[in-house]
Structure formats: C-alpha cells, structure tokens
Amino acid sequence: MSRRLVLAAAQLGPIQKSEGRDVAVGRMVRLLETAHRRGAEVVVFPELALTTFFPRWYHEDLAEADHWYETALPSNATAPLFEAARKFNIGFHLGYAERTPEGRRFNTAVYVHPSGEVVLKYRKVHLPGHAEYDPTRTVQHLEKRYFEVGDLGFPVVRAPVGEAQVNIGMMICNDRRWPEAWRVLGLQQVELVMLGYNTPSLNMENRGFEAHHLRVFHSHLSIQAGCYQNACFAAGVAKAGDEDGHELFGHSIIVNPQGEIMAQATSWGDELIVADCDLGMCELGRRTIFNFAAHRRVEAYGRITGQTGSAAPAEWVPKG
Ligand code: CDT
C-alpha cells in the first residue's frame, strides 16, 4: 500500500459580497483542473470558500443571513465542483457555512471522496469574535452570532486519499492557534490535517503589540508547531486579498511532520501549491520524542480539561 500522497492547497483570492457561488465554484473548478495537470490527488480549499467572509457583515435578523449558508451538498451551485472532482479523480476539502434541516448553523468543512461521497465532516469548535454588533470596531467579526460551537469534536478517519490510506483530520481557521485541538487530533494518529482560514491582515484588537508582519508569522508558527508536535502533515489554506476593502492575508502553506514548510503561496490570489508527501515521515516523531504512550503525563494535565479561563497563581511570600 502506497505511503505517498500528492497534496495540493488551493488558495482562493477574494470573493466580493456581490459575487455569487457560481463565481467561486468556477474558480475552484479551474484550480481542480490545474491540480489534475500537476498530478495532485487531493485539493484543500479554504474556510467558507463559497462566499465572501460574511461574518464581517451584521444582520440584526438572523434569517436575513440565510442566503450565506448551504442547506445541501452538492447543490445546484456546487454540483460542478463534485463533477470536476469525479472527472479528475481528485478528493477535495471544502469549507462552507452549514444550515441544518433543524435550522442550526455551523462553520463546517468536509472531505469529499472523488466519487462525491462525504468521507468526513467537521464543525468549527473555536469561534472567534463576538455575537453582537460592536460599535467600537471598524470591522465586525460576528462568528459567535452566525455559528454554534461545533458539536462533532475533532474526528479523525482512515480513508483512501489517492493511492494511500491516510488518517485525516480537520481544523478550521482559529482552531489552528489552539494546541489542544492539534493534540486531540494527534491522539488519533492523524497524518494529514486539512485546514482553511480567512484571517484579516490587521488585528482589530491590536493595541500596538502585534506588528503587521507578525500576523502571518503567528499563523505559520501555529501550523508548524502543530505538525511537529503531533507528527503530521498539514495544508493551511487561505482565502486571501481584498474583500470589499477588507484585507485577508494569504501565505498558504503545506507543512511536514518536522514542522518544515514544503510549499508556500506567493500571491494573495487564486493559487495552487503542491507537495509530494511521504506519509512514512509521520513515524519518526510518533515513535521517538512524541511517543505519547511512553512520555505523556496525563496526571499533570488536569487543568487542560478541568479549567477554561486562566487563574492567577498563589503569591510567594518571603518567610523571613
Ligand atoms: N476565521 C477566523 O477564525 N479568523 C480568525 C481571526 C480572528 S480575529 C477576531 C483567526 O484566528 O485567524
């Protein structure tokens, strides 16, 4: 059984508020064609890949936001993507806003087999931003308004990807900054993490402490550390560029289990990057420095699941 995988990250340039799904899907189909020409077996698209990053826009009445969500996959609008995947025999990861038949709303990602079958679904756990309109902000980030916290945990499944059987898992955007999320995947022997993001180039809450260039650094730092500490590959894929005057950074990357960047996007537009991954590389970390069974000390980690916010430490008082 092959342990090699040709992995592609399909960064998307901006999608304007006025642009329909047909525009986004057309661009994604072209990226799938490019991926096919370059020999890719799996393509990772970004978070909320079918529309603009709509949580920056406030709707008082949630029902007014319904048009941003998918109620079925495939739909008429997304069918061309599924058809292209089948034609080119490529699996794909897609981030989208999900509205369930019961009216629940999630920031969701799926991995779709070339046959069109959904292999794995994940619903974003770490939702940044706020739930109410914030007049102090020049740009809103209303993920807590538009989505519920994901209710599927961090699932991993072993499934065919190209010629290989691969342990696949997912994260969505802000999740990548949380080591707990990586470790839950690592504990399931994840080999490939697919993750999409929409990250503003400017931190609205920056009070002079996060220099502009550190935005990308923090994204890469999180993904590279997550891969190294959990002995896995990841594709971190942006929706990038200027959406209606609001800039999202690009710098999509493919990272190996040593934490090294194997490929990086150089534009902030539609761009495909490809890496040849030897899944056998996941073995080294897993058998040595990050051999969890041999070295983890759960008895010392109680706070990780027992406590949410941080607590101030006891104060040292001199005896004398
Ligand atoms: N989409 C997303 O999760 N973006 C966040 C930006 C947070 S700023 C409120 C991120 O962590 O990249």
What pLDDT was estimated at residue 236?
98
pLDDT at 71: 98
Q: Taking the CA atoms of the chain, what radius of gyration do you get in angstroms?
A: 20
Element (H, E) at 276: strand 271-278
Q: What is the predicted pLDDT for the residue at 281?
A: 97
* Amino acid, res. 301: Y
Measured by CA distance, the residue closest to atom 6 of ligand 1 is 199
Ligand 1 centroid to residue 128 C-alpha, Å: 6
By most ligand atoms within 8 Å of CB, the mutation choice from 106, 145, 174 for ligand 1 is 174
Task: Kindly report whether the global pTM for this prediction surpasses the value 0.85.
Answer: yes
pLDDT tens across 139-161, in order? 999 999 999 999 999 999 999 99
| pLDDT tens sequence across 98-124 | 999 999 999 999 999 999 999 999 999
Calpha distance 59→62 (Å, rounded): 6
Atom in ligand 1 nearest the alpha carbon of residue 203? 8
Is 319 among the residues known to form the active site? no
Active-site residue (options: 41, 173, 227, 282): 173
Kindly report the CA angle at 247 between 33 and 170, in degrees rounded to 5? 55
Task: Sort strands 164-172 and 192-197 into parallel, antiparallel or unpaired.
Answer: parallel
**Residue with the two structure tokens 């000390």:** 297
Residue 58 phi/psi, 5-degree rounding, is -90, 130
Atom of ligand 1 nearest to the CA of 141: 9
pLDDT along the chain (320 residues), means of 10: 94 98 98 98 98 97 97 97 98 98 98 98 98 94 98 98 97 98 98 98 74 92 98 98 97 98 97 98 97 98 97 96
Please tell me the predicted confidence (pLDDT) of residue 22: 97
Question: Could you say which of 70, 124, 191, 271 is catalytic?
Answer: 124
Pocket test for ligand 1, best of 141, 216, 237 (most atoms within 8 A of CB): 141
Secondary structure letter of residue 70 according to DSSP: B
pLDDT of residue 212: 81
Provide the 8-state DSSP code for 297.
-
Those residues whose C-beta lies under 8 Å from the C-beta of residue 20, and which sit 6 or more positions away, are 77
